[in-house]
Structure 1
Amino acid sequence: MSLVLGSVAGLATVAGARAADLPVAKAAPVEYVRVCSTYGNGFFYIPGTETCLRVGGRARAEYQYSSTYNRDQDAVGFYTRGRIQLDVRTATAWGLLRTFVRYEITRTTGTPFNLFGGTAGVSNGIPNTGTISTSPSVAEAFVQFGGMTAGRAVSFFSDGDLPTEHFGTLRFDDAPDVNLLAYTFSFGNGFSATLSLEDAEDRRLPGFIPGGLEAAQLFYGGDRMPDIVGNLKYVGTWGNAQLSGALHQLRSLALTNPVGGPVIFGPGIVGSIPDTEYGFAVAGYLTFNLPQIAAGDALWIAATYTDGAMAYMNGGNSVTAIDPINELGASGAVGMVDGYIDPITGDIKRGRGWSIAGGLRHYWTPDIRQSVFGSYMRVEYGGGASTITPGGFAVGLSDFNELRLGSNLIWSPVSGLDLGLEIMYAKIDPRGDVFVPSSVVGVPGTVQSSSHGWEGRLRVQRDF
Structure 2
Amino acid sequence: MKLVKSLLLGSAAGFAAVAGAQAADLPSRKAAPVEYVRVCTAYGSGFFYIPGTDSCLRIGGRLRAEYTFGERWGDLQDSYGTRARGRLNVDLRTATAYGTLRTFIRYDVTISSGAYGYGALNSGAIFANGARGAAASTVINLDKGFIQFGPITAGRAQSFFDFYANDLGFSSLRGSDTSPNLLAYTATFGSGFSATISLEDRAVGRDATVRNALAFGSNIVLEGQQYPDLVGALNVTQGWGSAQLSGAIGQRSTASIPAGVVGFAPQVGDDEVVWAIQGGLKFNLPMLAAGDVLWLQAAYAEGANSYLGYGSAFGYGRLGSLTAADIVVDPTNGRSKLTKGWAIVAGLKHYWTPTIRSEVYGSYSELDMGAAVQPAVLGAGVNAVKLDPKEFIIGTNLVWTPVSGLDIGVEVLYSKVELKNRILAVDNFGNRTGFLIKSDDALTGRLRIQRDF
TM norm structure 1: 0.85
Q: Which amino acid aligns with 1:195?
A: I
1:320 and 2:312 equivalent? yes
Query: Equivalences for 1:111-260 in 2 at 5 Å?
Result: 111-115=115-119, 125-159=129-163, 164-174=167-177, 176-207=178-209, 209=211, 218-257=220-259
Shifted more, 361-370 versus 203-212: the winner is 203-212
Kindly tell me: are residues 386 and 76 of structure 1, through their superposed partners in 2, closer, same or farther at Cα, counting changes over 3 Å?
closer
Kindly tell me: are residues 60 and 146 of structure 1, through their superposed partners in 2, closer, same or farther at Cα, counting changes over 3 Å?
same
* Deviation of 1:147 (Å): 0.7
Note if contact 2:130-2:430 (Cα within 8 Å) is conserved in structure 1: no
Q: Which amino acid aligns with 1:425?
A: Y
Task: For 1:97 and 1:311, locate their aligned partners in 2 and report how far apart those are by CA, in whole Å.
Answer: 31
Q: Which residue of 2 aligns with 1:353?
A: 341
* Deviation of 1:216 (Å): 6.8
Q: Which of 376, 399, 414 is matched with 2:388 structurally?
A: 399
Deviations 1:222-274, CA, capped at 9 Å, x for gaps:
33221111111110111101111112321224422389xxxxxxxxx994120
Extract unaligned runs of 5+ from structure 2. Answer: 121-126
Query: Equivalences for 1:337-416 in 2 at 5 Å?
Result: 337-383=325-371, 396=385, 398-416=387-405
Note if contact 1:215-1:396 (Cα within 8 Å) is conserved in structure 2: no
Shifted more, 415-424 versus 394-403: the winner is 394-403
Match of 2:86, SS? strand
Q: Which of 404, 410, 429 is matched with 2:418 structurally?
A: 429
Task: For 1:230 and 1:403, locate their aligned partners in 2 and report how far apart those are by CA, in whole Å.
Answer: 28
Extract unaligned runs of 5+ from structure 1. Answer: 117-122, 260-268
Match of 1:378, SS? strand
Q: Which residue of 1 aligns with 2:409?
A: 420
Kindly tell me: are residues 182 and 271 of structure 1, through their superposed partners in 2, closer, same or farther at Cα, counting changes over 3 Å?
closer
Q: Which amino acid aligns with 1:310?
A: N
Deviations 1:398-452, CA, capped at 9 Å, x for gaps:
1121111111111111100111111111111111212234463988333102111
Kindly tell me: are residues 74 and 386 of structure 1, through their superposed partners in 2, closer, same or farther at Cα, counting changes over 3 Å?
closer
Note if contact 1:281-1:305 (Cα within 8 Å) is conserved in structure 2: yes
Task: For 2:400 and 2:214, locate their aligned partners in 1 and report how far apart those are by CA, in whole Å.
Answer: 48
* Deviation of 1:300 (Å): 0.5
* Deviation of 1:221 (Å): 2.2
Task: For 1:109 and 1:70, locate their aligned partners in 2 and report how far apart those are by CA, in whole Å.
Answer: 17
* Deviation of 1:323 (Å): 4.9
Q: Which amino acid aligns with 1:373?
A: Y
Q: Which of 26, 29, 32 is matched with 1:28 structurally?
A: 32
Q: Which amino acid aligns with 2:401?
A: S
* Deviation of 1:148 (Å): 0.6
Deviations 1:108-148, CA, capped at 9 Å, x for gaps:
001334428xxxxxx75544534222101211111100011
Task: For 2:234 and 2:331, locate their aligned partners in 1 and report how far apart those are by CA, in whole Å.
Answer: 40
Shifted more, 18-27 versus 39-48: the winner is 18-27
Deviations 1:158-214, CA, capped at 9 Å, x for gaps:
026x7831111211113x222111111111111101111111323423346268978
Deviations 1:308-335, CA, capped at 9 Å, x for gaps:
01011126xxx322254x432xx12x43
Kindly tell me: are residues 94 and 255 of structure 1, through their superposed partners in 2, closer, same or farther at Cα, counting changes over 3 Å?
same
Task: For 2:384 and 2:266, locate their aligned partners in 1 and report how far apart those are by CA, in whole Å.
Answer: 25
Task: For 2:97 and 2:373, locate their aligned partners in 1 and report how far apart those are by CA, in whole Å.
Answer: 57
Match of 1:327, SS? helix
Match of 1:112, SS? helix
Note if contact 1:375-1:403 (Cα within 8 Å) is conserved in structure 2: yes
Note if contact 1:180-1:196 (Cα within 8 Å) is conserved in structure 2: yes
Note if contact 2:424-2:432 (Cα within 8 Å) is conserved in structure 1: no
Q: Which residue of 2 aligns with 1:461?
A: 450
Q: Which structure has the highest strand share of the two?
A: 2
* Deviation of 1:54 (Å): 0.8
Match of 2:188, SS? strand
**RMSD of the alignment, in Å?**
3.1
Q: Which residue of 2 aligns with 1:63?
A: 67
